[in-house]
Amino acid sequence: LADPGHPMSDYFTSTVDTVTGQSSTLAVVGPLRLRLFSGYVAAKKNEPLAKFLALSYGEWMDNATIRYEQGAALAWYLINGSGGRYREAFANYVMAYYHGRAADAGALPRFLRVKLEDFEREWVTEMSKIKPIY
């Protein structure tokens, strides 16, 4: 998300109300999108998270279909996964990003206060438990 014009930055900034900090639009990430991403995980088509967070706009658009599903699944998990463990940190991240204070690729793990590799392992494990659509 180092590029402010990056499609994922639009998705992230739209998932949390920037005035109240409340998640309000995550309902758009329905079961179909999670099942699609689960299929990509099973097929090992998902991007490693460190690379995913650092993609430029052009790199993102080279494989936008999978990357939008990965972004949706990531945002959904940050709000809902692990019993809501990451929700507040994610809301703080989004607010900081919106105000230009968290645009580097390393910002998300700093806000979550976890090693990116540990978070990714947890997230991908949970996503792989969802029955793929194909």
Q: Assign 67 to helix, strand or coil.
A: helix
Q: Assign 8 to helix, strand or coil.
A: helix
Portion of the chain with pLDDT greater than 70, in percent: 77
The pLDDT score that the predictor gives to residue 113 is: 95
Is pTM, for the whole model, over 0.75?
Answer: yes
Of 7, 112, 117, 103, nearest to 62 (Cα)?
Answer: 7
Q: What is the DSSP letter of 100?
A: T
The pLDDT score that the predictor gives to residue 131 is: 84
Structure tokens at 43: 């097929």
Query: Are the CB atoms for 41 and 70 separated by under 8 Å?
Result: no
pLDDT tens digits, 105-120: 789 999 999 999 999 9
Sign of the Cα torsion 11, 89, 56, 51 reads negative
What is the rounded end-to-end Cα distance, in angstroms, of the chain? 29
pLDDT tens digits, 13-38: 444 555 566 554 444 566 777 888 88
Res 95 pLDDT > 80? yes
